[in-house]
Amino acid sequence: MTPERPASLSKSGRGPSMHDVAARAGVSHQTVSRVLNDFPGIRPETRERVLQAIRDLGYRRNMAARALATGRSEVIGVIMPEVPHFGPTSTLYAIEHAAKRVGFKPLITTASWEPSSMGQALDFLLARSVDALVVMAQHPDVLAAVETTTDVPVLYVLTGNSHAERSVAVDQVAGTRLALEHLYDLGHRRFQHITGIAGLTEAQLRRDTFLAFLDERGLERLPILEGDWSADAGYRAGLAVEEGVTALFCANDPMAMGAIHALEERGLTVPDDVSVVGFDDVPESGYAHPALTTVHQDFTEVGLRAVTALMEIINGREPGELESVEPWLVVRDSTAPAPG
């Protein structure tokens, strides 16, 4: 079942235009425009007549015409990863809510990090004359691709803290360190890590920070377990956790849940034998078994800051310093002092 592209669109009944409203109110179309745009200097009585005519006719502004005339659309283009993970999805909702408050709406498109896919997404959004662009840049390569293409304000979101300018992100290094220091402080010395999708910025940052941490503390580098964010992958990785490992740092919560499942199947108990830390603090993680210790990321704040900064840029002001959003550790029942 594949949808088929439309060949012809019925150009049936367009709604009333400003001229229709103007005629009905006995004014010029320009007066209607002024009423709609809250210009000063309209006689209250005239304004009321116009508003009445609008209501009578069920008139709705044609934003296409407005966009053509002004060059602005009050739409923010959002490029999302193709798979609905918790972070991007939460951020999207946060952006929508923040944008709504300033009269903007998000136009969504998904793209993989490949240049052609990203290019198509950009073309589509820019053709719609979006006023700004949010790119959920999960891969470092997309940055260059976007930069050269447009002069529309662009903000990168969910990039870790790797591109300080024009990007809003949760500090991945800090988050990872919170998790690892918590485990270290509990006495753990043998760590393994289940990664997110290889190459994605956040996965890479968590992984790099993990390795750096081991080196700093002089801990052994056991094999990295490659994951892909999914609980399935977490389960498979959990089966491969080495004997003697007591601390498992998972790049997100679903993988942590999968891994715990695998560990328990192997007869290991969490947290008595192995302590497990996740990342994201998804709403269910407090009710996992055992309740998951995890790094909380405030995606609502990310979305809010992104929209706020974009509004500044659109209005010609420089946005304030775009600081990283600080994550915090939520300690629950999946971590305990190292055994022995």
Partner DNA sequence: GCCCGCCATGTTGACGATAACATCGTGGTC
Partner DNA sequence: GACCACGATGTTATCGTCAACATGGCGGGC
**CA atoms of 339 and 266, how far apart (whole Å):** 17
Residue 239 near residue 227 (C-beta atoms within 8 A)? no
Min CB(72)–DNA separation in Å: 8
User: With binding defined as CB under 7 A, does residue 27 bind DNA?
Assistant: yes
Residue 248 near residue 191 (C-beta atoms within 8 A)? yes
- What pairing do the DSSP bridges indicate for beta strands 293-296 and 328-330? antiparallel
**CA atoms of 339 and 199, how far apart (whole Å):** 34
User: With binding defined as CB under 7 A, does residue 5 bind DNA?
Assistant: no
Q: Hunting for tokens 């979101």 — which residue is that?
A: 157
**Residue 26 binds which entry of DNA, a copy of itself, none, with Cβ cut-offs from 5 to 8 Å by kind?**
DNA
Q: Is the Cβ of residue 156 or residue 213 nearer to a copy of itself in the bound state?
A: 156
H or E stretch including 270?
none
| Residue 133 neighbours by CB under 8 Å, 6+ apart | 76, 77, 78, 79, 122, 125, 126, 146, 150, 152, 153, 154, 155
**CA atoms of 23 and 91, how far apart (whole Å):** 45
Min CB(26)–a copy of itself separation in Å: 24
Q: Is the Cβ of residue 32 or residue 169 nearer to DNA in the bound state?
A: 32
User: With binding defined as CB under 7 A, does residue 34 bind DNA?
Assistant: yes
Contacts with DNA, 54-83, as mask; x by CB under 7 A: ------xxx--xx-xxx-------------
User: With binding defined as CB under 7 A, does residue 31 bind DNA?
Assistant: yes
**Residue 240 binds which entry of a copy of itself, DNA, none, with Cβ cut-offs from 5 to 8 Å by kind?**
none
H or E stretch including 169?
none
User: With binding defined as CB under 7 A, does residue 53 bind DNA?
Assistant: no
**Residue 28 binds which entry of DNA, a copy of itself, none, with Cβ cut-offs from 5 to 8 Å by kind?**
DNA
Q: Is the Cβ of residue 18 or residue 169 nearer to DNA in the bound state?
A: 18
Q: Is the Cβ of residue 37 or residue 315 nearer to DNA in the bound state?
A: 37
Task: Give the interface size with DNA as a residue count (CB under 7 A).
Answer: 31
Kindly compute the dihedral angle of the four CA atoms of residues 138, 330, 239, 225, in this order, to the nearest 10 degrees. 40
Min CB(239)–DNA separation in Å: 55
User: With binding defined as CB under 7 A, does residue 315 bind DNA?
Assistant: no
Q: Is the Cβ of residue 17 or residue 117 nearer to DNA in the bound state?
A: 17
Q: Is the Cβ of residue 202 or residue 281 nearer to a copy of itself in the bound state?
A: 281
Q: Is the Cβ of residue 78 or residue 205 nearer to a copy of itself in the bound state?
A: 78
What's the start-to-end Cα distance of the chain, in Å?
59
What number of other Cβ atoms are within 10 A of residue 50's Cβ?
A: 25
**Residue 7 binds which entry of DNA, a copy of itself, none, with Cβ cut-offs from 5 to 8 Å by kind?**
a copy of itself
**Residue 300 binds which entry of DNA, a copy of itself, none, with Cβ cut-offs from 5 to 8 Å by kind?**
none
User: With binding defined as CB under 7 A, does residue 52 bind DNA?
Assistant: no
Peptide bond into 290 cis (omega under 30): yes
User: With binding defined as CB under 7 A, does residue 195 bind DNA?
Assistant: no
Angstrom distances, CA of residue 230 to CA of 175, 237, 253, 256, 315: 20, 11, 9, 9, 40
Residues that bind DNA (CB under 7 A): 11, 14, 17-19, 22, 26-31, 33-34, 36-37, 40-43, 45-47, 60-62, 65-66, 68-70
